[in-house]
Every structure is written in structure tokens, then in C-alpha cells.
């Protein structure tokens, strides 16, 4: 009797993915002809272009972003700030090597295996760091309907947003895109109202991958950072993986199990470029960037 094959170690699987590359499903199979996939570029191009180009009074103050978890700009030379600069540089470099028929070079999805690992913190700081560096205009998209969503932290849970646009493209307008005091940073809230049951219903019946792909193809000069739900709590990351050019998988140090990471990677393996981002590491004084007085 043949012995069952032992599951490959995480590192072995990552190396195999790099060597062999994964076969990609045709775009027509990944993005079915549903309400989201049928959104015509002409329906959303003009209002979103106006919103992204708007220089009206900003809604999100820097203090609001900091209260939501953004590292204060005055501390960008501290260890965490420097590490996000490195991550941002790797993301920009990775845009050149994106492959796959449905992968969008300018879409970066941030997710995790389970809740509480710091993915929203990572998404916010990645987007803010890139925007502060003026490397490119950034649209931070909240795609997580969870109770601790980024929109809630920013006080935008009642604003028109992603789920509303997917349900009705006519709702897309300047109100759906919230500018910040960081000139190059715009936020697209989750939307869908404040009723969790209603938001879940909208999300289930109107996949957002088609909308994200449409926005990315239309606005190639912008980088879309998607704060997606944890992989083991929602089917949305698996759908979004098909259109993401890169994925940052946030892993909580000393707590996330290898089996959880492997299960999450299996769900998002449609993406050609997945990076692991270790979070909540215990630091020592020797690990700190710069000099403190």
C-alpha cells in the first residue's frame, strides 16, 4: 500500500510556487457575469475620476488616521516606520513582476489567517507610508465588514462606500471617496449601512472582485490597497486573490499556527505573488532603528 504523501512544509510550498508558477483560471471563470462584473467602466469612470482629482477640503485629519493606528509621521524613522518603508519599496518593486491573466498590477490585498493579527494596521500604514512618500496616489479600500473594520476606526462606518457601489453603481460619487490631509491618500469605506446583517447580505450577493478589477484597470496610475477580511472567516479574500497583483499575509508572531497559515495560503493561491508579513514581534533595544535621546 502506498504511503500517503506528507503535506509539504510552508517554505517548500513557497519555493515550489516560485519554481513552477501556478496555472491561472480564465478571467471569465473567476469573474462571473453578476452585478459586480457587469459594471461598465463608463458608469464609474467619470465620478471616481472627479473624486480622485478633487482638492476640496479634506475630511480625514491626520489625528484621525493616527487614532486609527497610523504611525505618526514624526516617528517614521522609528523601527516600525522604517519597516513599513521597506515593505512599501518591496510592493512597488513587485508591481513589475505581476503575472496572471486576471491579476492587476496596481492592486495589493492585505489579509491574515484569522482575526486580530493586525492586517488593518498593516494596510493603513502601508497605504499612508506610500502616500507620504509620494511614490504614487493611493486608494485605501476597506473590504472588511467585520465589527472592527477600518471604516469604523476612521469614523466612516455610516458613509457610502464599497458595498453600496457594488449594489448600485449610480451611488458612486465624491461622497463615496474620502480624502485625507495626506494629499496622495484617499479612502473608500466599506459602506452598506450600519446593520451587520444587511452588510453581510450585500457582500454575499454582490461580489466585490469585479468592481476592484474594473477600478484598477481604469485608474492604472493609482495603487489600490485592499484591507480584506481574514481568510479563515470569509470567502472574500479568495475571490479578491484572483484580481490582486500582490498579497500581504499578516502573521502574528508566536501565535498564528503553521496549519492556519497553510490553510489561508491554499485559499488565496490564485494570486501570483504572496508575501508574509510578521507582526507583533517582541523587540529589544538592539532592534530599534535610529537613535533615541
- 4 in a structural domain: no
Angle at 48 between CA 183 and CA 162, to 5 degrees: 95
pLDDT band at 211 (very low <50, low <70, confident <90, very high): confident
Q: What is the mean pLDDT of residues 146-170?
A: 83
pLDDT band at 12 (very low <50, low <70, confident <90, very high): low
Q: Which residues pair with 109 in a beta bridge?
A: 226, 247
- 22 in a structural domain: no
Q: Which three cell numbers stand for residue 134?
A: 509620494
Between 171 and 156, the more confident residue is 156
Task: Please report the pLDDT score of residue 54 as a whole number.
Answer: 62
Between 174 and 120, the more confident residue is 120
Q: What is the mean pLDDT of residues 97-123?
A: 90
Q: What is the mean pLDDT of residues 131-143?
A: 88
- 213 in a structural domain: yes
- 71 in a structural domain: yes
- The mean of the pLDDT values for the chain is 77
Name the domain count of the chain: 1
> 27 pLDDT exceeds 60?
no
Task: Please report the pLDDT score of residue 111 as a whole number.
Answer: 97
Spatial contact of 213 and 94, defined as CB atoms under 8 Å apart: no
Q: What are phi and psi of 276, to 5 degrees?
A: -95, 130
> 134 pLDDT exceeds 50?
yes
| Percentage of the chain exceeding pLDDT 90 | 38
| CATH code of the domain containing 248 | 3.40.50.300
| Percentage of the chain exceeding pLDDT 70 | 67
Q: For 80-93, how does the pLDDT look when each residue is reduced to its tens digit (9 = 90+)?
A: 888 888 999 999 98
What DSSP designation does 92 have?
A: H
Task: Please report the pLDDT score of residue 28 as a whole number.
Answer: 37
For residue 178, the enclosing domain spans 30-280
> 285 pLDDT exceeds 60?
no
Task: Please report the pLDDT score of residue 32 as a whole number.
Answer: 40
- 13 in a structural domain: no
Specify the pairing of strand 178-179 against strand 185-188. antiparallel
- 125 in a structural domain: yes
Specify the pairing of strand 137-142 against strand 222-227. parallel
Task: Please report the pLDDT score of residue 80 as a whole number.
Answer: 81
- 17 in a structural domain: no
Task: Please report the pLDDT score of residue 263 as a whole number.
Answer: 95
- 34 in a structural domain: yes
Amino acid at each position: 500500500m502506498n504511503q500517503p504523501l506528507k503535506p509539504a512544509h510552508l517554505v517548500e510550498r513557497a519555493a515550489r510556487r516560485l519554481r513552477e508558477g501556478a496555472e491561472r483560471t480564465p478571467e471569465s471563470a473567476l469573474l462571473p457575469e453578476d452585478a459586480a462584473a457587469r459594471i461598465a467602466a463608463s458608469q464609474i469612470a467619470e465620478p471616481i475620476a472627479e473624486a480622485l482629482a478633487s482638492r476640496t477640503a479634506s475630511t480625514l485629519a491626520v489625528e484621525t488616521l493616527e487614532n486609527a493606528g497610523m504611525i505618526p509621521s514624526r516617528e517614521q524613522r522609528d523601527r516600525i516606520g522604517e519597516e513599513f518603508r521597506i515593505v512599501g519599496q518591496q510592493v512597488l518593486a513587485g508591481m513589475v513582476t505581476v503575472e496572471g491573466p486576471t491579476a492587476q498590477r496596481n492592486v495589493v490585498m492585505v489579509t491574515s489567517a484569522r482575526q486580530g493579527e493586525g492586517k488593518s494596521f498593516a494596510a493603513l500604514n502601508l497605504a499612508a507610508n506610500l502616500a507620504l512618500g509620494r511614490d504614487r496616489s493611493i486608494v485605501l479600500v476597506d473590504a472588511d465588514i467585520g465589527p472592527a473594520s477600518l471604516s469604523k476606526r476612521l469614523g466612516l462606518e455610516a458613509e457610502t462606500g464599497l458595498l453600496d457601489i457594488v449594489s448600485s453603481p449610480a451611488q458612486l460619487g465624491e461622497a463615496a471617496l474620502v480624502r485625507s490631509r495626506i494629499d496622495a491618500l484617499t479612502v473608500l469605506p466599506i459602506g452598506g449601512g450600519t446593520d451587520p446583517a444587511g452588510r453581510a447580505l450585500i457582500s454575499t450577493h454582490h461580489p466585490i472582485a469585479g468592481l476592484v478589477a474594473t477600478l484598477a484597470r481604469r485608474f492604472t496610475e493609482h495603487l489600490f490597497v485592499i484591507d480584506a477580511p481574514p481568510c479563515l472567516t470569509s470567502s472574500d479574500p479568495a475571490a479578491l486573490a484572483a484580481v490582486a497583483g500582490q498579497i500581504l499575509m499578516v502573521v502574528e508572531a508566536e501565535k498564528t499556527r503553521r496549519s492556519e497559515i497553510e490553510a489561508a495560503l491554499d485559499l488565496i493561491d490564485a494570486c501570483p505573488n504572496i508575501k508574509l508579513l510578521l507582526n507583533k514581534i517582541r523587540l529589544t533595544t538592539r532592534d530599534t532603528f535610529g537613535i533615541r535621546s
